Chain A
Amino acid sequence: MKGIQFVDLIDAGDPAALAVAHAEAGADEIVLLDITATHEERGTLIETVRRASRGLFIPFTVGGGIRELRDAAAVFDAGADKISINSAAVARPELIEEIGRSFGAQAVIVAIDARRAADGADPVRGAEVFIAGGRKNTGLRVLDWAREAESRGAGEILLTSMDADGMRNGFDCELTAMVSESVSIPVIASGGAGTAAHFAEVFDGGRADAALAASIFHFGVSSARELKTELATHGIPVRLPC
């Protein structure tokens, strides 16, 4: 499923089949997010995770609906390598530590859905954290929450710009740079990818350690292979598929 600024969701196809297809097209990592799990009070789609993981030999991250350590354990058991937590980490930040202790810090990604502040002198520094699939403003500053997530042992931060999401106008490089320069763990930029040049921008000016895209791959605008071939011409080191 894929949306625009977190709404107008449309079905992009079977997640397990898509995951394997993207891996074969040269994706370096697969992230499967059940974006309405918290809102609809559902658990993670364990069976989908299990099916997807069978054909995946690259890192596989799963998020959505993980509220407790035992939810995380079930997702790892189904074949995920990392879990991504969002709403549940805001509700109870100790969850980051609990999962890290059991499965290693590298297995815990804290996902942050961020929206630039509507007013104030600095909308980027004032950006706020939203939960429940972007439905609820927590009032937390993105910068403060990213630092806390790091101090509690998160292995990576998946930073999604709600403003840029689905627009295909480019990542929010200012927001990404602000977070990436404030923490010492990798930051994955998400939201807004439309062209290969957008990736080059977010790696360079945005200081992103990785970038995530959905729309442009799901709807065949570009495959991971095409994208990486073009990034290589921009001088960005990439793993080109065989």
Chain B
Amino acid sequence: MIRTNTSNVTIVDYRAGNLASVVKAVTALGATPEVTSDPEVVAKASKIILPGVGHFAATQFLSDRGLTAAMRSRIADGVPFLGICVGLQWLFEGSTEAPGVSGGGFLRGHCERFVTAEKVPHVGWNSLSVRPQSRLMAGVADGSYVYFTHSYRAGQQEDAVAVTNYGGPFTAAVEAGNIMGVQFHPEKSGKAGLTILKNFLEL
């Protein structure tokens, strides 16, 4: 098992699916996760993970509870932030999955449903084209497989550090300074996924 020598990480709980696997993976890597829905706790976080499985509308909880403001403030302070799946989508301006719900707006553009003859949702392992200079993707070989399960995605954009193809290319991972996100599930992607989480935890 690869382990990290890092400190603690705050995992934001917004009632969107199950956090157990993210908690388990970062724990196995040697971190001490703190799961919270309390904006005051988030406001003191030294690292933030926003997981997410399910519907973009669930992110409404973040603004309702003051979590958006807390995360925005911490991100502005330079704290490393990792959005996973819907957590990545939340970094954008919004998603056509829930047009009335705003995203964090840290990255330009909207997430949209796949337009493809392939089956939707996109479920399963798919390979990554990795941009070499990424801190998040360090040690992850080009062509590595990771696990996806989603119906909406962000198109290609400049901050992408990994791109996947499913009925056309889309953003699999982004990195803009301390703001990072992955559309796939690193906690479910075997060794490649654990490497990515370890990279984040060691930032």
Chain A interface (Cβ < 8 Å from any Cβ of B): 23, 28, 53-54, 57-60, 76-79, 81, 103-107, 155-156, 184-186, 209-210, 237, 239, 241-242
Tell me, yes or no, whether B190 is within 8 Å of chain A by CB: yes
Q: How far, in Å, is A128 (CB) from chain B's closest CB?
A: 25
**CA gap between A53 and B150 in the complex, in Å:** 22
Q: Which one, A57, A77, A107, A241, contacts B25 given CB within 8 A? A: A57
26 A-B interface contacts by CB (under 8 A)? A28-B124, A28-B125, A28-B147, A53-B21, A53-B24, A57-B25, A57-B188, A57-B189, A58-B188, A58-B190, A76-B17, A77-B18, A79-B24, A81-B188, A103-B17, A104-B54, A105-B121, A106-B121, A106-B149, A184-B120, A185-B121, A186-B121, A209-B123, A237-B127, A239-B145, A239-B190
Q: How far, in Å, is B122 (CB) from chain A's closest CB?
A: 9
Contact in complex: A106, B187 (CB < 8 Å): no
Interface string of B24-55 (1 = CB under 8 A from A): 11001000000000000000000000000111
CB-CB < 8 A to A59: which residues of B? 147, 149, 185, 188
CB-CB < 8 A to A186: which residues of B? 119, 121, 123-124
**CA gap between A103 and B193 in the complex, in Å:** 22
**Given A58-B147, A156-B123, A184-B120: A103 in contact with B18 (beta carbons within 8 A):** yes
Contact in complex: A209, B17 (CB < 8 Å): no
Contact in complex: B24, A210 (CB < 8 Å): no
Contact in complex: B124, A155 (CB < 8 Å): no
Q: How far, in Å, is B3 (CB) from chain A's closest CB?
A: 13
**Given A105-B121, A155-B149, A184-B119: A79 in contact with B21 (beta carbons within 8 A):** yes
Secondary structure class of chain B's binding surface, majority of residues: mixed
Q: What is the interface size of chain B, counting residues whose CB is below 8 A from a CB of the partner?
A: 30
Contact in complex: B193, A57 (CB < 8 Å): yes
**Given A77-B18, A81-B18, A239-B125: A57 in contact with B119 (beta carbons within 8 A):** no
Contact in complex: A107, B123 (CB < 8 Å): no
- Closest residue of chain A to B86 (Cβ to Cβ) is A104
Query: Would you list the 8 A-B pairs with minimal beta carbon distance, nearest first?
Result: A104-B54, A239-B145, A106-B149, A76-B18, A239-B125, A104-B53, A186-B123, A59-B188
Contact in complex: A155, B121 (CB < 8 Å): yes
Tell me, yes or no, whether B191 is within 8 Å of chain A by CB: yes
Interface string of B171-198 (1 = CB under 8 A from A): 0000000000000010111110110000
Contact in complex: A104, B124 (CB < 8 Å): no
Q: How far, in Å, is A234 (CB) from chain B's closest CB?
A: 17
**CA gap between A165 and B189 in the complex, in Å:** 29
Contact in complex: B150, A106 (CB < 8 Å): yes
- Closest residue of chain B to A79 (Cβ to Cβ) is B20
CB-CB < 8 A to A184: which residues of B? 119-120
**CA gap between A93 and B185 in the complex, in Å:** 29
- Closest residue of chain B to A183 (Cβ to Cβ) is B119
**Given A57-B193, A58-B190, A106-B150: A81 in contact with B121 (beta carbons within 8 A):** no
**CA gap between A104 and B190 in the complex, in Å:** 22
**CA gap between A237 and B127 in the complex, in Å:** 10
Q: Which one, A77, A103, A106, A241, contacts B123 given CB within 8 A? A: A106
Q: How far, in Å, is A222 (CB) from chain B's closest CB?
A: 19
CB-CB < 8 A to B120: which residues of A? 184
Q: Which one, A53, A58, A156, A237, contacts B189 given CB within 8 A? A: A58
Q: How far, in Å, is B146 (CB) from chain A's closest CB?
A: 9
Q: How far, in Å, is B19 (CB) from chain A's closest CB?
A: 10
Q: How far, in Å, is B198 (CB) from chain A's closest CB?
A: 12
CB-CB < 8 A to A54: which residues of B? 24
Contact in complex: B119, A81 (CB < 8 Å): no
CB-CB < 8 A to B54: which residues of A? 103-104, 106-107
**Given A103-B53, A104-B17: A242 in contact with B124 (beta carbons within 8 A):** no
Q: How far, in Å, is B149 (CB) from chain A's closest CB?
A: 4
**Given A57-B190, A103-B54: A185 in contact with B17 (beta carbons within 8 A):** no
**CA gap between A81 and B120 in the complex, in Å:** 18
Task: Beyond A54-B24, A58-B188, A81-B21, list 15 extra A-B contacts (CB 8 Å).
Answer: A28-B125, A57-B191, A78-B20, A104-B17, A104-B55, A106-B123, A106-B149, A107-B54, A155-B121, A184-B120, A185-B119, A186-B119, A186-B124, A209-B123, A209-B124
